[in-house]
């Protein structure tokens, strides 16, 4: 076991300040919901180290802390959810990571990382690093539909121990005004060690993977979202208003800095 993957958060107060959650008081459900929301609205989903700036991805706690907290970067699931579960544990939550299989329409390996918290006799699934479709709150293991921040999610138990995260989606086009049930992902509520995600991280950081070939950033905001699709289209949604702006190659790094606060920096921790 590599101890660098199990270090404590170097400075929890700095982490809480990074995500705008300095008023954390106790490891209860109310604070958990706030932590999830604050993390999602503060730390973007992005893989720019692979697609644009060509830095290696390390899952050590020190590296992730330096990148996400000190340099105010984002990350993909193995990074942001990996650091988030460490924060939850250090704050006193009974939290662990789970392997997830995204619903992409075709059968794919379990290449997503989520988090489960056991709290007051109940279990909750949460995800702070899924580009689109992630629940903006910790979802209780229940088929009861749960709504927060104007979004509705629930969890259904499937065959052989699989759990399925579902969401209610507002249809567009000819079906505008109606709602449909969508499957976001499947997961098994089994505690995995941090080391268990190293092989998936290696697969996702391969030169041929989409994270290496496509420049994308997704950031939830309090009023909607701001996304950079394929490095060419900036999509901003605020309430019911959605705008698209084409981005020229020479404008890319300026947009990353001025819109998302992201810039190229190296990290010393392995």
Instruction: With respect to residue 133, please indicate whether it lies within any of the assigned structural domains.
Output: yes
- Tens digit of each residue's pLDDT (9 = 90 or more) over 29-87: 999 999 999 999 999 999 999 999 999 999 999 999 999 999 999 999 999 999 999 99
| Among 49, 100, 112, 204, the one annotated catalytic | 112
In the annotation, is 8 catalytic?
Answer: no
Instruction: With respect to residue 267, please indicate whether it lies within any of the assigned structural domains.
Output: no
Q: Are 223 and 238 in contact (CB under 8 A)?
A: yes
Per-position b or e across 8-35, b if 16+ CB within 10 A of its CB: ebeeeeebbebbebeebeebeeebbbbb
Please compute the mean of the pLDDT values over residues 191-211 and round it to a whole number.
94
Q: What is the CATH number of the domain that holds 188?
A: 3.30.2140.20
| Among 77, 86, 100, 204, the one annotated catalytic | 77
Instruction: With respect to residue 242, please indicate whether it lies within any of the assigned structural domains.
Output: no
- Tens digit of each residue's pLDDT (9 = 90 or more) over 90-108: 999 999 999 999 987 667 7
- The whole-model pTM stands at 0.93
In the annotation, is 112 catalytic?
Answer: yes
Instruction: With respect to residue 13, please indicate whether it lies within any of the assigned structural domains.
Output: yes
Instruction: With respect to residue 164, please indicate whether it lies within any of the assigned structural domains.
Output: yes
If we measure between CA atoms, which residue out of 180, 148, 184 comes closest to residue 164?
184
Instruction: With respect to residue 245, please indicate whether it lies within any of the assigned structural domains.
Output: no
> Could you give the number of structural domains in the chain?
1
Instruction: With respect to residue 263, please indicate whether it lies within any of the assigned structural domains.
Output: no
Domain that holds residue 171: 3-210
In the annotation, is 63 catalytic?
Answer: no
Rounded distance, CA 240 to CA 224, Å? 9
For the chain, the average pLDDT equals: 92
Q: Please give the C-alpha separations between residue 68 and each of 71, 72, 133, 241, 263, in angstroms, as whole numbers.
A: 6, 5, 22, 30, 12
Q: How sure is the predictor about 109, in pLDDT bands with cuts at 50, 70 and 90? A: confident
| Among 49, 100, 127, 204, the one annotated catalytic | 127
Instruction: With respect to residue 252, please indicate whether it lies within any of the assigned structural domains.
Output: no
């Amino acid at each position: 076991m590599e101890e660098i993957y199990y270090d404590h958060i170097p400075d929890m107060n700095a982490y809480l300040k990074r995500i705008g959650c300095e008023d954390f008081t106790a490891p209860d459900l109310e604070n958990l919901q706030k932590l999830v929301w604050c993390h999602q609205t503060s730390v973007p989903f992005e893989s720019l180290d692979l697609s644009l700036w060509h830095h290696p991805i390390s899952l050590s706690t020190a590296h992730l802390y330096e990148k996400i907290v000190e340099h105010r970067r984002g990350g993909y699931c193995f990074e942001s959810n990996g650091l988030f579960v460490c924060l939850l544990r250090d704050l006193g939550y009974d939290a662990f990571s789970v392997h997830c299989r995204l619903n992409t329409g075709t059968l794919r390996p379990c290449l997503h990382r989520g988090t489960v918290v056991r709290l007051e006799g109940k279990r909750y699934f949460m995800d702070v690093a899924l580009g689109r479709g992630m629940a903006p709150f910790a979802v209780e293991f229940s088929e009861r539909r749960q709504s927060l921040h104007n979004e509705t999610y629930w969890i259904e138990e499937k065959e052989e121990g699989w759990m399925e995260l579902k969401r209610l989606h507002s249809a567009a086009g000819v079906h505008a005004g109606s709602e449909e049930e969508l499957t976001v992902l499947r997961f098994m509520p089994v505690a995995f060690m941090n080391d268990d995600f190293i092989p998936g991280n290696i697969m996702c950081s391969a030169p041929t993977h989409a994270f290496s070939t496509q420049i994308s950033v997704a950031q939830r905001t309090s009023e909607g979202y701001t996304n950079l699709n394929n490095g060419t289209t900036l999509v901003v949604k605020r309430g019911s208003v959605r705008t698209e702006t084409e981005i020229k190659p020479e404008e890319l790094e300026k947009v990353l800095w001025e819109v998302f606060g992201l810039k190229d920096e190296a990290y010393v921790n392995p």
